[in-house]
Amino acid sequence: MIKKELINFVYGDGQNIGYKYGQVIKSFVSPIIIHLAHSFYRESNEPIGNAVNVVFFLEGTAKGVFIPHGVADKGYRDAGRLNRMELILYSGEWWKRHAIRQGIDPDKVVVVGYPKLDPIFQGIIKPRPRTSAKPRVLWAPTHNTIQEVSSWGKFNEYLPELEKHVELLDSAHPANKDMPAVTLQDLADADVVLADSGSLIYEALALDKPVILLSWLTREGVLSLWPGTLEASLYEDGPCCLANSFEELLNLLSSSLTISKEMRILADDIIAPETRGHSGMIIAKLLSKMIE
């Protein structure tokens, strides 16, 4: 066996650090590398032969240590691709149980939390001062590669009317931006999150922010294309609020919306509470042991 000499964070062939998902991956890598000596790690677009290669996507022939680039289900983490991995670092117990049900060796799966949110949990990223008394509402659609499961493009016609009632924070998915960025500041600012089928659902819940699903725009797509997934369960009997029309959305936003006990239980299952704010350190220690 070749001795591993360093940790290599693989941004993906063609995924340059400044392009599209590159900034998303950077939001995972940054909280980890602050706990590593510079000589211990690299950031590159390809695997390195003598390295512990940390990958964030399952596409192609990726191998090494897998940290998912998000916490949404979408049914894409199949056992065949997961079994290629030496180690799978998941955010919470829900994902560990899911992997074991898929037939993944339990010894391969470690719950480490979700480093992307460390800066908010640590108070490094704080809510900005308010400019109005209106509630801050973040619309955070997933990308529209599969249009049926995304509100991107469909919800835009409602934005002028919505802005009469709320302070709107509009954060498109990085794949839909010309200048990609990560939603952390807007997420810290928001009182309520409007979502459809992406990671922002669970990120918001973990930060004690109520989530409203734009059900009239995305429910049928999620249920038909992703049956049996975690997202499908949210539209069927999950804890998030469902807006079945724009009028219903306005009614929900005008109520005293708070995170429910059921929302918090789901959030704690997806992103382990004991890891919050120091997930990056947990991962850095684990990876360091692999090159000792």
CA 128/CA 261 separation, integer angstroms: 27
Phi, psi of 30, rounded to the nearest 5 degrees: -55, -45
Three-state DSSP state, 111: strand
* Cα 257 off chain centre by: 23
Numbered ranges of CATH 3.40.50.12580 in the chain? 136-270
265: CB partners within 8 A, 6+ apart: 239
Percent of the chain exceeding pLDDT 70 equals: 90
Angle made by CA atoms 57, 62, 65, in degrees to the nearest 5: 75
Take residue 9 and report the two structure tokens written for it: 């964070």
Cβ-contact 205, 267 below 8 angstroms? yes
pLDDT string in tens for the chain (292-residue length)? 567 889 999 987 544 444 567 888 899 999 999 999 988 999 998 888 889 999 998 876 678 999 998 999 877 777 877 888 999 999 999 999 999 999 999 999 999 999 999 999 999 999 999 988 999 999 988 866 678 989 998 999 999 999 999 999 976 545 444 443 457 999 999 999 999 988 999 999 999 999 999 999 999 999 999 999 999 999 998 888 999 999 999 999 998 788 899 999 999 999 999 999 999 999 999 999 999 7
CA 267/CA 234 separation, integer angstroms: 12
Burial code (b: 16+ CB inside 10 Å, e: under 16) for 116-131 equals bbbbbbeeebeeeeee
Q: What CATH class does 136-270 carry?
A: alpha beta
Phi, psi of 274, rounded to the nearest 5 degrees: -70, -10
